[in-house]
Structure 1
Amino acid sequence: MSAENTLPDSLTDLLRSTGAALRIFDMGRRISKLPLEQFRRIEASLLPYPTPFQHLAWLAVLIWNPKQRNENAVWFLRLPLDEQGLVAPAARDDLVKRLVQNVINSRNGQPDEDALKDNPYSFTPDQSRMAAFHALAAREMKSPASPHYESAQAWFKGQLPLEQWQSLAYQGLADFVLRLDQDGNADALCERLPLMPAAVLETLCPLLEHIQPSDPLQQALLAQLQQALATDDSNRVAALCRALSNIRDESSKQHWVMEVLSSPHARQPEVITVIATRCESALLEPRVLSAFLEQLAQGEAGQTGFSRILAELMFMPVHRALILQAFRSTERSEALSRAIGEMLGQAFEAPRSH
């Protein structure tokens, strides 16, 4: 690519100009594929980002040489969004300009991971998301799972002793979860769940949020959630909420979210935050939203947590309209009325944790 040529004005145009093939993934609330045509419209600020998180679009761009698929790179990017959820054009143009210059300066004129060096729009996913992304990317590229997959699979299938769980690698767990539809893995997980050490379960659940569990696995997870709700272990409840957050059946999701909101666990920050950030579709049901707001107002997260969690939810237009409608309800409690008054009378920002 020559510097004299007309410079690309979008990320997709830039990568196409190098001859690279690409796939785009959302890395925000959970990891999922973004169709390229949809991303083009998002990038052109014609379409709001569908799953904003912390007022940003979190992306992974998987790039490879079509002639040598094993030559690939990944760019992890976060782009600011405006009040309508559209990509901010100035930030997009700045990002593309930086990447164009880095690709021009690269030795072979191909995009590589060094192109993001010192780039303010890049980020590094945490261990769980990185492992899940690598597992998903391997499937997308029709590549084998990591060398750790077989030992994880053997443990889940009972071919290794239960107490050998500490020898399992995180990447092996991620590969197993992202291949639950293969080799009887889902059945093995259902059988192992009741015996699973707490440390394994709480490691596994954030990986499970990236897949849609089969009906038998959903039932097995729900049984674990019912047991956890009867204990004082809010970390386990929060973990199982994450594992169940991506189920297909919205009425079932609303039902178990209401059960969680009816329990003392809903006052704990780790539980209410998971419901807000992973189970947000359940909050589109006014009855569920009302219970959520009441618990949030009276919870351990305090006024700061109340304001930040709602700022995040209200960045999504439909949630914003429903929350404002709930704010006007004459049936709201005194505690909720006070929290609303505090929130609307102060400046607040979105949650920082990811």
Structure 2
Amino acid sequence: MEKLLSSLLSHKDNRLRLFDMGRRVSKLSTDVFTKVEQNLVPYPMPFLHHAWIGMLMWNPKKKDENLIWFLKFPLDEQGFLVQAARDDIVNRLLQNALMPDIDKEDALKDNPFSFTPDAEKMAIFHAQAALILGQPASQYYEDVQQYLSAQRPYEYWENLGLQGIADFIVRLDQGTNEQSLCTNFGSLPTPLLLSISRLLEHSQPSYPLLSTLSQYLNQLLEHEECSPDMIAALVRAISNTTLTQTRDEMIINVLSSAYATHTEVLLAVATRNLTSLYQPEILHAFLERLAICDAGQQAFTRILSDLMFLPEMRALILKAFRHDGLSDALRHAIGAMLGQKRSASSH
């Protein structure tokens, strides 16, 4: 009988929680991953042709002895798990399990499929893991809480740790955290605003917070001297809300602004606000801006190639390519992209 990674890692003494670590840190159901392992369904959240997965394992009786692994699985052209890679990981795990001198933490570390998340994702992962395990927030959390409720001087922001900010973000629903953030958001130093906004993509902003973010973003869009990085960070911040109509209106505003040809802004739309692109008018505006973006044809081709790896997006993009009202710039970019693909496939 085929050995499944999910069944090997979760048994009567062990709990397993899976996270997708690709575009943002989000829960991945074990049932879904089991179906992915069995090649019954494609991986639901591919990023750069891989499934990026964080694994948290613990024994309920020994919660402080948890185990964390980060594994990236290559996907085939249809988004299904490449079985040879999965089998390799399972075999390594089984071999190492038979060797008592190998530390469990290291059992899957030295393999071609492990990866290290960036600092922001790592901080959010640890903050979420602490919540799941019923552990307290990091030592940096209280400082952030006090600063964001205006109990610390303005310049104190330089002392705030990334892990403390991540702990605050995953605990927005506790106490007056969300209210403090909404009240003081617009007066925070820019570096702190950038950090908070990027981490907010891993949360689901409520109506009051989404309103705060939207108002601030609209203010910045009216001024051309703002950093595109700040616009991109705010686009990421609003991306995971359940209030999709408000988010989509904001994406239209962004794509209508002077910042819409900056690659980092377009990347934030493409990689974090995927469902906004399901709307034909938003997708069309996005494609038009991407065709004239500051990083040129290479960015157009790479960003669309990643989006078209998703079957539903591929169909929508190909349909948009046939739209009557395409600009000459977009027609040229599409022709160059399809020409590159045909040239590559002929070699």
Which secondary structure state, in structure 1, belongs to the residue aligned with residue 10 of structure 2?
A: helix
Structure-1 residue corresponding to 2:116: 124
Query: Using the alignment, how far apart are the partners of 2:4 and 2:295 within structure 1?
Result: 41
Which secondary structure state, in structure 2, belongs to the residue aligned with residue 58 of structure 1?
A: strand
1:129 is displaced (CA, Å) by 0.5
Structure-2 residue corresponding to 1:271: 265
Structure-2 residue corresponding to 1:105: 99
TM-score normalised to the size of structure 2? 0.95
Structure-1 residue corresponding to 2:147: 155
Gap runs ≥5 in structure 1: 1-5, 349-354
Q: What is the count of residue pairs matched by the alignment?
A: 340
Aligned with 2:173 (options 181, 200, 207): 181
Structure-2 residue corresponding to 1:52: 46
Which secondary structure state, in structure 2, belongs to the residue aligned with residue 116 of structure 1?
A: coil
Query: Using the alignment, how far apart are the partners of 1:113 and 1:53 within structure 2?
Result: 26
Aligned with 2:214 (options 213, 219, 222): 222
The answer to whether the 8 A contact 2:207-2:243 is kept is no
Structure-2 residue corresponding to 1:314: 308
Residue 245 in 1 paired to residue 239 in 2? yes
Which secondary structure state, in structure 1, belongs to the residue aligned with residue 98 of structure 2?
A: helix
Structure-1 residue corresponding to 2:85: 91
Query: Using the alignment, how far apart are the partners of 1:139 and 1:106 within structure 2?
Result: 31
Query: Using the alignment, how far apart are the partners of 2:131 and 2:73 within structure 1?
Result: 26
Residue 71 in 1 paired to residue 65 in 2? yes
Give runs of aligned pairs for residues 11-22 of structure 1, distance below 5 A. 11-16=5-10, 19-22=13-16
Structure-2 residue corresponding to 1:196: 188
Q: Which letter maps to 1:128? A: E
Query: Using the alignment, how far apart are the partners of 2:11 and 2:59 within structure 1?
Result: 12
Structure-2 residue corresponding to 1:328: 322
1:16 is displaced (CA, Å) by 3.2
Q: Which letter maps to 1:10? A: L
1:45 is displaced (CA, Å) by 1.4
Residue 338 in 1 paired to residue 332 in 2? yes
Query: Using the alignment, how far apart are the partners of 2:59 and 2:133 within structure 1?
Result: 12
Deviations 1:150-172 (A, max 9, x none): 11101111111121000111100
- Larger deviation, residues 246-255 vs 147-156: 246-255
Gap runs ≥5 in structure 2: 343-347
Question: Structure 1 vs Structure 2: percent identity of aligned residues?
Answer: 48
Which 4+ stretches in 1 moved above 2 angstroms?
A: 16-20
Query: Using the alignment, how far apart are the partners of 1:23 and 1:13 within structure 2?
Result: 12
Structure-2 residue corresponding to 1:146: 138
1:49 is displaced (CA, Å) by 1.2
Structure-1 residue corresponding to 2:345: none
Deviations 1:63-99 (A, max 9, x none): 1123211110100010011121111111111111112
1:112 is displaced (CA, Å) by 2.5
Which secondary structure state, in structure 2, belongs to the residue aligned with residue 180 of structure 1?
A: coil
Deviations 1:124-149 (A, max 9, x none): 01110100100011111111111111
Query: Using the alignment, how far apart are the partners of 1:60 and 1:243 within structure 2?
Result: 22
Q: Which letter maps to 1:182? A: Q
Residue 115 in 1 paired to residue 104 in 2? no
Query: Using the alignment, how far apart are the partners of 1:118 and 1:144 within structure 2?
Result: 30
Which secondary structure state, in structure 1, belongs to the residue aligned with residue 54 of structure 2?
A: strand
Query: Using the alignment, how far apart are the partners of 2:247 and 2:10 within structure 1?
Result: 40
Q: Which letter maps to 1:197? A: P
Which secondary structure state, in structure 2, belongs to the residue aligned with residue 78 of structure 1?
A: strand
Query: Using the alignment, how far apart are the partners of 1:313 and 1:212 within structure 2?
Result: 23
Which secondary structure state, in structure 1, belongs to the residue aligned with residue 340 of structure 2?
A: coil
Which secondary structure state, in structure 2, belongs to the residue aligned with residue 330 of structure 1?
A: coil
The answer to whether the 8 A contact 2:301-2:337 is kept is yes
Query: Using the alignment, how far apart are the partners of 2:139 and 2:36 within structure 1?
Result: 37
TM-score normalised to the size of structure 1? 0.93
1:17 is displaced (CA, Å) by 5.4
Describe the shift of the 1:244–1:107 C-alpha distance in structure 2 as closer, same or farther (beyond 3 A).
Answer: same
Query: Using the alignment, how far apart are the partners of 1:138 and 1:294 within structure 2?
Result: 43
Structure-1 residue corresponding to 2:276: 282
1:213 is displaced (CA, Å) by 0.8
Which secondary structure state, in structure 2, belongs to the residue aligned with residue 206 of structure 1?
A: helix
Describe the shift of the 1:191–1:95 C-alpha distance in structure 2 as closer, same or farther (beyond 3 A).
Answer: same
